[in-house]
Each structure stands twice: as C-alpha cells, then as structure tokens.
Amino acid sequence: MRTALVTAVAGAVVAFLLGLLTFGVQATVHPHDVPLAVVAPPPVADRVQAADSAEVDIRVVSADEARNLLRDKEVYGVLEIAPGQATIRLNPAVNPSGTQVAQQVLTGVAQGAGLPVRTETQAVSAAERTAPLAASALLWVGGMVAGLLFVVLKGRDLRWLSATAAAVLVTGSTAGLLAWWGVTLNVPTFAFLLAVATAFALLQAGLFKHLGIRAMGVLGLLYLMAPAVAGQVPELLNPVYRAVLWSWTPFRFSAEGLRSLLYDGSVSTEWWVFGGIALLGVVLLLAGKKAQTDRADGIVDVGVDQADGLPRAERQHTA
C-alpha cells in the first residue's frame, strides 16, 4: 500500500515538473516590450509612437541608427517609411520567433498608415532556421550517450579521451547532417560547433564520473527543458521562465552563436561561455574519485573479509 502511494505521488510530481519546465514555457508565451525601430518623418513618427503598447517597444530613430541597431541585434526589425512606401528590414541572424513578431507588428503599422509594404531580408530556408537549435541538441545528446555508455560498459581509464573523441565525431556527424540539409558551414562555424561539442562532452563526462548513471537525472532534464526555452526570444517568455531558465541555459548560447556565425560571422560572449563549461568539465574530471559502478545484479559490496566470510565491521567488533 505504502509503495503504491509513494510511486503514484512520485509519478505525479515528475509529470508536473516536466510540464512546468517544458510545455509551460510555450504555453505562457506572450510578447512584451519587443524592441522595434521605425524611421519616419515627424508627422508619421508621432502616429507610429502612438501605436506603442505593452507588447512592443517602438523606437523612432534615424536610418543609420536603425540599421546599426538591427545589425547589432538590439531590435528585431526596422520599418522605414518614405513617401508612398514602407520597407521592413529584418536580420536573419536574429531568432526567427522574434523576427516573425516584428514582421507582423511592423506590417500592421505600415498598413495602418495606408502604405504598401515590402520586406528586405536575406532568404532563409527551413533548414537554416532549424539548424542552430537542432545542432545544439545533437551535440548535447552525442556527448551524453557517450558518457552514459562509458558508465554502462564499466570504463575505467581515459574517460577524457572518450569525451574528446565523441566531441570530434559528433561534430563531424552533425556537420554532415547540416550539409545534407543544405546549410553551408564556414570554418568559424565548424570551429564553434567543435567547441560546443567539446564543452558539452567534458561537462557530461565529469558529471558521470562523480554521479555515475545518476547523472542522467540532471543531463536528461536539461535536455528536455532547455530546447523549449532556447528556441524562444526573451521578450516572448514569461518573466519567471526568462529569469530562471533562459538566462543561463547553454542551449541558448550555442543556438545564438551558431545563428550569428551562419549570417554575420561574429560571436564573443559565446566563446567565453563554452570555454568556462569546458574548464568546469576538466576540473570535474581531475577532481576526486569516480563514482562506484553499480553492480549489474543489484548486489552492493559490503566489504566481506575473505578470511572469515564476515563483513569487516563485524569482524572488528567481535575482536
């Protein structure tokens, strides 16, 4: 009776937590303060600013300032209004969810002003939109499976070699998939993929060393919840999810870095993030002793003294 109740409650709690950390992210999506830029003459600019709301943050700026903001990914879209024409400019290096919201809002603003609208942006295929987050997830799964098998197969030495070899091979397989899907990778993008894969694999290997198979409880949960968060832009997330999950998840940094390198070739913070993750993995691999391997038959070693067949603690007590 007691076991039945405990297992039932445990199942309900796990389901609730998974729903909260995964589907809850998407179920609570709502735009707020989405940054947009508008270039318009004064009379029109006044009407545009009147369209500002809690969902969007419209900035009326000069043409040069607007393009700089878009290039630096500080806004999700730019609307340039000229006599008889409105042009929406988008940056493919920006998260597609944010770009979609920007295009919808700015199109509505232009149509409200009675102007025809055209959109200027680099053409992005479905594979290119999917690639940054998909690659991040594949790199994580590859390192996680390699670390798990090292534990299951009772590997003893050269755990670091298993992790680094897995990182190289998973990077190659992921790059091959992306190329097959039609995504062109340059040298900096491939180097970043390798850096992310290495950081993931080293961290996972370090956790498996200290926690054994129990590390899957942490790594599996991260895999389930992180992509749901990393695929969104912060201005669409519930503020709680933004602060508690989005702010630190490594999937966000890998997806944003890959997306930037695919289109404008500039990342900075991301290198430091994954350098730090790799360093943490190395520290875990070098520190302490590895977790005791779980016996396949479920028997726990209690330290039997072969001299008399008694556990060591009992033998000392009887002495």
Parts of the chain belonging to CATH 3.40.1710.10: 34-120
Question: CB within 8 A of 23, min separation 6: which ones?
Answer: 228
Tokens 């303060």 belong to residue: 33
* Total length of the chain: 319
User: For the segment 237-281, what is each residue's pLDDT rounded down to a tens digit?
Assistant: 888 888 888 888 889 899 999 998 988 767 888 999 999 999 999
Cα 275 to Cα 281: distance, rounded to the nearest angstrom: 10
pLDDT at 143: 93
pLDDT at 296: 43
| Residue 175: closest CA among 200, 201, 139 | 139
Tokens representing residue 91 in the block? 């940056």
- Answer whether 0.75 is exceeded by the pTM: yes
Cβ atoms of 269 and 253 within 8 Å: the answer is yes
pLDDT at 309: 52
How many helices (H) and strands (E) would you count in the chain? 13, 5
Cβ atoms of 166 and 143 within 8 Å: the answer is yes
Cβ atoms of 220 and 174 within 8 Å: the answer is no
Q: At residue 191, does pLDDT exceed 80? A: yes
Contacts 24+ apart (CB under 8 A), 176-181: 177/138, 178/127, 178/131, 178/135, 181/127, 181/130, 181/131
User: For the segment 115-134, what is each residue's pLDDT rounded down to a tens digit?
Assistant: 888 888 877 788 888 899 99
Class of domain 34-120: alpha beta
Output the CA–CA distances (angstroms, integers) from residue 292 to 103, 240, 306, in the order listed.
55, 38, 21
| Burial class (CB within 10 angstroms; exposed 0-12, middle 13-18, buried 19+) of 109 | buried
User: For the segment 45-62, what is each residue's pLDDT rounded down to a tens digit?
Assistant: 777 776 667 788 888 888
Query: What is the average pLDDT across 10-35?
Result: 82
User: For the segment 119-174, what is each residue's pLDDT rounded down to a tens digit?
Assistant: 888 777 888 888 999 999 999 999 999 999 999 988 878 899 999 999 999 999 99
pLDDT at 314: 47
